[in-house]
């Protein structure tokens, strides 16, 4: 059914006809007077989290529970010669031992899993690892990107490329891609003709940009508790996708999906690496089966940093050209990404999707090294790509003598982001940024930089929800989604409360269990846009069920009953009218319920990418090389945010991860031994309370009509442009281009020397 709806964003609304799926309510309108949506709602589980009552998977304790531990090979490349678990099996308290690698198997990074044991106490399990007899043959290895690309470098994969894949891994791309040595690819994208584009340009710049490996470093490590009852398996997991976990466990263990139950009541953070059971989860399930007792297996911090995934590093060369009046004519990216033993390291998202350019060429190569596998991490490829692209935009603006922001505005095809740029510029004080470079301390320079964010996903079909309206007027929602801390539990309740017109505290929510109606995995920032429309539709249908039940009591046609906020009525002779509570009293004792599926996205919606931009102001100490981020202005599109409190929190968290990525975080591998030298959260420095800038968040609500709540996700776009903006700000402060992150004091001091050798201080 076609409906005319209002779409757009503040300053640019328009009417649009869109096709609404039968049985789905039309998208909320910008004139809608919400009572719950759009208000700052504390998390429903805030109290449980602040009292220690919240039970995380790592807190689960079951009677007779055993503790699992994993033996890892600390050689960067080795072949298993022999593996003997018999002595370990006889160790005190040991109840099960399994091999995770077979003799003859090639191990490819320091920290790879070899065997696992389960014992009555954690100490006994640890002791038993020492009793496992395993012999390795060391093989030559390579851990640096440069070394790995050399001809004659030790090969990470001698035969076929066997990248490991867990649920969240980014695909390595076409199976038929050629691999030369350790270099796979390229995956290429060509649009127009870059050479012709460069010919036309008045200015051309080219630069090479290096980014490091970042680890997810969620505070709760990976792991799960597995319990078998006969042929049924229940796991309590720290996972971003309980249904994906369920399906992968069933498939790998070859048991029916119906026999697997996954529960995630609370989880201690997930940033892309917590998908599927992974090696440790499968090990726990197998150990539990062998021992005939539940097994808890969580990684320790060192294992977490070594082997649970990471954001691949990248070496990107970007070349770009523009006309004198500031139109991009050609954009070219060549990237060598390094995800250790995993591929899928491309960074081309921003280059392809932020600025408009007719002539584009992208070549993406995966370089393999003997290092822990990369996996999806908060906007895979994008913070890297944005860093290189936005630096290039600044350089090119300079080459053609244009203000870098004006240059961006001229090339940005997104009306929403152009406006976001203007809002951010106003808030950061862009126009006098040059005047503010000098501070009262001659050693300290100030700089302001900018970067753009792009993201795509708008959620999709699959999710289901059940909404029950009880006889006393309260309501219940069942939806199996996991809450990573983002506030999904609260979002579920808010959407139902809004649609039903019931106060938020009279809505109860059951989530985090694969026995509940199907819900999306939390990846790609798709949780809310996938879940919320299903919840709303279920609540809408439950209201119709209420109307039917009330109509029967009133003896009027069901279509004549209207359910509005807090009030149920039927026109006619005589007219009927009841409060919500009185109407619900007419229900049978079981109340009414509806289960609904999320409708498809509206094809004819006001389509866009999810956009955002961030501005950073930094102070750089040219004597010590230290960078301090004073302020980040983050302007983002999150569709129509359901809970501005938690949306803001996502953005603040994304910004601080970006600050941390720009200045501190760096996984360091020792070249002679091939081992990670900082598998911890100290030498692997993560931004702390002292490193937090002032963060100014502006949400630009965008009503696109793509689904019935206009919701999109924000987790990922929030961290895309931060490092880019900071690097541009440092470059602005110093007057020298920063081409590598993290921007450590060493990097800054080298830039200061470069500046000074080029002719004194500016």
Partner 1 sequence: MARRREKLPPDRSKALVAMTVNGERVEAPFEPHKTMLEVLREDLALTGTKHGCELGECGTCAVLLDGKPVLSCLVLGLECEGRSVETVEGMAGPEGLHPLQKAFADLGAAQCGYCTPGFLLTAKALLEENPRPTLPEIRQALAGNLCRCTGYVKIFEAVELAAAWLRGEAAEPRKESLYGYDFDESGLLPSHPGPVGAVLAAAREAAVDEGGDKPRPYRAKAR
What does 45 interact with, of partner 1, ligand FES, none (CB < 5 to 8 A by kind)? partner 1
Nearer to ligand FES, 266 or 421 (CB): 266
Cβ-based nearer residue to ligand FES, 435 or 689:
689
- CB neighbour list of residue 59: distance below 8 Å, 6 or more residues apart: none
Stretch that binds partner 1, among 19-27, 314-322, 682-690, 745-753 (CB under 8 A): 682-690
Q: Does 485 bind ligand FES (CB under 6 A)?
A: yes
Pick from 364, 412, 478, 498: which binds partner 1 (CB under 8 A)? Answer: 412
419 binds partner 1 (CB under 8 A): yes
- Binding positions for ligand FES, 212-241, rule CB under 6 A: 219
Look at residues 525, 538, 540 and name the one whose alpha carbon lies nearest to residue 460: 525
Give the Cα separation of 636 and 611 in Å (integer): 6
Q: Which does 405 bind (CB under 5 to 8 A by kind): ligand FES, partner 1, none?
A: partner 1
- Minimum Å gap between C-beta 512 and ligand FES is 16
Q: Is 207 in the site for ligand FES (CB under 6 A)?
A: no
Determine if 628 is a binding residue for partner 1 (CB under 8 A). Answer: no
Residue with tokens 């990573």: 484
Q: Which of 415, 444, 581, 586 binds partner 1 (CB under 8 A)?
A: 415
Residue 161 interacting with partner 1 (CB under 8 A): no
Closest separation between CB of residue 305 and partner 1, Å?
9
**What stretches of 120-265 adopt beta strand conformation (E)?**
133-138, 179-180, 183-191, 203-211, 214-215, 223-229, 232-237, 260-263
Rank residues 130 and 219 by Cβ distance to ligand FES and give the closer one: 219
| Bridge pairing between strands 106-107 and 328-338 | unpaired
Instruction: Quote the tokens at residue 203.
Output: 């200015």
User: Which is nearest to 381 in space by CA: 407, 361, 354, 405?
Assistant: 354
Q: Tell which residue, 226, 237, 264, 220, has the closest CA to residue 65.
A: 226
Q: Is 343 in the site for ligand FES (CB under 6 A)?
A: no
257 near ligand FES, rule: CB under 6 A = no
Measured distance CA(479)–CA(465) in Å, rounded? 5
Q: Which two tokens stand for residue 539?
A: 């609540």
Residues 358-387 that bind ligand FES (CB under 6 A): none
Taking the C-alpha atoms of residue 545 and residue 356, their distance in angstroms, rounded to an integer, is 49
Helices (H), ranges, 479-603: 488-500, 527-554, 580-585
Least Å distance between CB 659 and partner 1? 9
Shortest distance (Å) from residue 585 CB to ligand FES: 42
Closest to partner 1 by CB, 119 or 568: 119
Residue 9 contact, options ligand FES, partner 1, none, Cβ 5-8 Å cut-off depending on partner type? partner 1
CA 706 to chain centre: 21
Q: Which is nearer to partner 1, 133 or 431 (CB)?
A: 431
Binding residue (CB under 8 A) for partner 1 from 27, 38, 380, 473: 38
Q: What are the CA-CA distances from residue 497 to residues 6, 34, 338, 415, 474 (Å)?
A: 23, 10, 46, 33, 10
Count CB atoms within 10 A of the CB of residue 628. Answer: 15
Q: Between 11 and 256, name the residue whose CB sits nearer to partner 1.
A: 11
Q: According to CB under 8 A, which one of 164, 289, 418, 437 is a site residue for partner 1?
A: 418
**Residue closer to ligand FES (CB basis): 260 or 484:** 484
Q: Which is nearer to partner 1, 67 or 198 (CB)?
A: 67
- d(Cα 85, Cα 106) in Å, to the nearest integer? 19
Out of 107, 699, 736, 748, the residue judged to bind partner 1 by CB under 8 A: 699
Applying CB under 6 A, which of residues 30, 93, 192, 269 lies at the interface with ligand FES? 269
Task: Name the segment binding partner 1 (CB under 8 A); options: 68-76, 139-147, 415-423, 743-751.
Answer: 415-423
What the block records as the tokens of 368 is 């393999």
How many residues bind ligand FES, per CB under 6 A? 3
Stretch that binds partner 1, among 249-257, 357-365, 565-573, 687-695 (CB under 8 A): 687-695
* DSSP string of 242-276, one letter each residue: HHHHHHHHHHHHT--GGGEEEE-SB-S--SS---S
Q: Does 50 bind partner 1 (CB under 8 A)?
A: yes
Give 671's contacts (C-beta < 8 A, 6+ positions apart): 143, 144, 147
Residue 93 binds partner 1, judged by CB under 8 A:
no
- Decide: residue 488, CB within 10 A, 0-12 exposed, 13-18 middle, 19+ buried: buried
Distances from the Cα of 494 to the Cαs of 33, 505, 528, 535, in angstroms?
14, 10, 12, 10
Which uninterrupted H or E stretch holds 723? helix 722-734
Contact criterion met (CB below 8 Å) for 216 and 273? yes
Q: From the list ligand FES, partner 1, none, pick the one residue 220 interacts with, judged by a Cβ distance below 5 to 8 Å according to partner type.
A: partner 1
Decide: is 427 part of the binding site for partner 1 (CB under 8 A): yes
Q: Which of 426, 553, 577, 604 binds partner 1 (CB under 8 A)?
A: 426
Vertex 372: Cα angle to 368 and 377 (nearest 5)? 95
Task: Report the residue number, 308 or 342, with the smaller CB distance to ligand FES.
Answer: 308
Within positions 350 to 379, which residues make up the interface with partner 1, using CB under 8 A?
Answer: none
Query: Under the phi-then-psi rule, with left for phi > 0, alpha for psi from -120 to 50, and beta for the rest, what region is 91?
Result: beta
Asked if 272 is part of the footprint of ligand FES (rule: CB under 6 A), the reply reads no
Separation of alpha carbons 82 and 87, rounded Å: 14
Piece of the chain touching partner 1 by CB under 8 A; list 218-226, 366-374, 434-442, 582-590: 218-226
Does 133 engage in binding with partner 1 (CB under 8 A)?
no
- Least Å from the CB of residue 501 to partner 1: 15
Residue whose pair of structure tokens reads 């009591």 in the numeric block: 553
- Nearer Cβ to partner 1, position 484 or 733? 484
Instruction: Give 167's DSSP letter.
Output: T
Q: How far is the CB of 432 from partner 1 (least distance, A)?
A: 10
- Of 290, 287, 295, nearest to 236 by C-alpha is 295
Q: Which is nearer to partner 1, 454 or 697 (CB)?
A: 697
In angstroms, give the least distance from the CB of 218 to ligand FES: 7
Q: Does 122 bind ligand FES (CB under 6 A)?
A: no
Q: Where are the alpha helices (DSSP H) in 100-144?
A: 122-130
To the nearest whole angstrom, how small is the minimum distance from the Cβ of residue 126 to partner 1? 12
Taking the least distance from each CB to partner 1, the nearer of 234 and 646 is 646
649: cis peptide before it, omega within 30°?
A: no
Pairing of strands 2-9, 94-99: unpaired
Range 61-80 burial, b when 16+ CB lie within 10 A, else e: eeeebbbbbbbbbbbbbbbb
Task: Give yes or no for residue 487 binding ligand FES (CB under 6 A).
Answer: no
Q: If you count them, how many residues does the chain have?
A: 762
Neighbours of 617 (CB within 10 A): 25
Does 62 contact partner 1 by CB under 8 A?
A: no
451 binds, among partner 1, ligand FES, none (CB under 5 to 8 A by kind): none
Tokens for 349? 């998202």
Segment 251-310, which members bind partner 1 (CB under 8 A)?
266-269, 271, 300-301
- List interacting residues with ligand FES (CB under 6 A): 219, 269, 485
């Amino acid at each position: 059914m076609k409906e005319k709806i209002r779409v757009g964003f503040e300053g640019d609304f328009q009417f649009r006809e869109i096709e609404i799926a039968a049985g789905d309510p039309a998208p909320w309108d910008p004139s809608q007077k919400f009572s719950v949506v759009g208000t700052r709602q504390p998390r429903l589980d805030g109290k449980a989290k602040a009292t220690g009552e919240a039970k995380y998977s790592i807190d689960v304790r079951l009677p007779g529970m055993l503790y699992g531990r994993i033996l890892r090979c600390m050689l960067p490349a080795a072949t298993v010669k022999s593996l003997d678990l018999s002595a370990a099996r006889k160790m005190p308290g040991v109840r099960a031992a399994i091999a995770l690698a077979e003799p003859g198997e090639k191990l490819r990074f320091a920290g790879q899993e070899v065997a696992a044991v389960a014992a009555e106490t954690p100490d006994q399990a640890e002791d038993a690892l020492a009793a496992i007899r395993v012999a390795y043959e060391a093989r030559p290895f390579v851990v640096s990107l440069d070394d790995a690309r050399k001809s004659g470098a030790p090969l990470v994969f001698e035969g076929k490329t066997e990248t490991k894949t867990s649920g969240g891994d980014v695909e390595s791309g076409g199976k038929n891609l050629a691999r030369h040595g350790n270099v796979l690819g390229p995956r290429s994208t060509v649009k127009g003709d870059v050479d012709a584009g460069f010919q036309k340009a008045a200015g051309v710049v080219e630069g090479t940009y290096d980014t490091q490996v970042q680890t997810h470093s969620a505070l709760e490590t990976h792991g799960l508790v597995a319990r078998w009852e006969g042929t049924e398996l229940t796991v309590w997991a720290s996972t971003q996708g309980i249904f994906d976990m369920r399906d992968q466990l069933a498939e790998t263990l070859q048991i029916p999906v119906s026999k697997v139950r996954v529960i995630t009541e609370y989880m201690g953070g997930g940033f892309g690496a917590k998908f599927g059971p992974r090696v440790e989860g499968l090990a726990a399930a197998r150990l539990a089966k062998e021992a005939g007792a539940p097994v808890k297996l969580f990684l320790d911090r060192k294992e977490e940093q070594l082997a649970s995934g990471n954001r691949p590093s990248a070496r990107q060369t970007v070349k770009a050209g523009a006309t004198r009046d500031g139109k991009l004519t050609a954009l070219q990216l060549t990237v060598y990404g390094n995800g250790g033993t995993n591929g899928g390291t491309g960074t081309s998202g921003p280059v392809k999707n932020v600025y408009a350019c007719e002539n584009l060429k992208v070549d993406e190569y995966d370089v393999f090294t003997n290092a822990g596998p990369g996996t999806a991490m908060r906007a895979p490829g994008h913070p890297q790509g944005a860093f290189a692209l936005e630096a290039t935009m600044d350089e090119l603006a300079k080459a053609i003598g244009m203000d870098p922001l004006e240059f961006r505005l001229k090339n940005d095809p997104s009306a929403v982001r152009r406006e976001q740029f203007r809002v951010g510029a106003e808030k950061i004080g862009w126009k006098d940024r040059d005047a503010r470079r000098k501070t009262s301390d001659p050693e300290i320079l100030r700089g302001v930089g900018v970067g753009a964010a792009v993201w795509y996903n708008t959620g999709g079909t699959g999710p289901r929800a059940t909404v029950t309206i009880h006889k006393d007027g309260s309501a219940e929602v069942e939806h199996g989604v996991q809450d990573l801390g983002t506030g999904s539990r609260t979002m579920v309740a808010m959407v139902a409360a809004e649609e039903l017109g019931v106060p938020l505290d009279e809505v109860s929510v059951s989530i985090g269990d694969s026995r509940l109606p199907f819900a999306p995995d939390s990846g790609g920032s798709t949780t809310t846009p996938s879940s919320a429309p299903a919840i709303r539709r279920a609540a809408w249908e439950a209201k119709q069920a209420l109307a039917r039940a009330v109509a029967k009591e009133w003896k009027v046609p069901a279509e004549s009953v209207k359910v509005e906020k807090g009030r149920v009525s039927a026109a006619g002779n005589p007219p009927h009218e009841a409060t919500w509570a009185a109407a619900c009293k007419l229900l049978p004792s079981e109340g009414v319920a509806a289960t609904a599926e999320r409708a498809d996205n509206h094809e004819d919606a006001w389509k866009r990418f999810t956009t955002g931009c961030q501005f950073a102001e930094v102070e750089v100490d040219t004597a010590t090389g230290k960078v301090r981020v004073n302020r980040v202005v983050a302007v983002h599109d999150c569709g129509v945010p359901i809970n501005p409190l938690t949306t803001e929190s996502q953005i603040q968290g994304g910004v601080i991860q970006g600050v941390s990525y720009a200045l501190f975080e760096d996984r360091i591998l020792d070249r002679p031994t091939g081992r990670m030298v900082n598998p911890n959260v100290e030498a692997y420095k993560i931004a702390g309370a002292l490193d937090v800038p002032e963060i100014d968040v502006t949400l630009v609500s965008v009503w696109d009509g793509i689904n019935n709540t206009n919701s999109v996700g924000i987790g990922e776009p929030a961290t895309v442009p931060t490092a880019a903006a900071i690097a541009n700000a440092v470059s602005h402060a110093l007057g020298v281009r920063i081409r590598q992150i993290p921007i450590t004091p060493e990097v800054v001091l080298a830039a200061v020397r470069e500046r000074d050798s080029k002719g004194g201080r500016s």
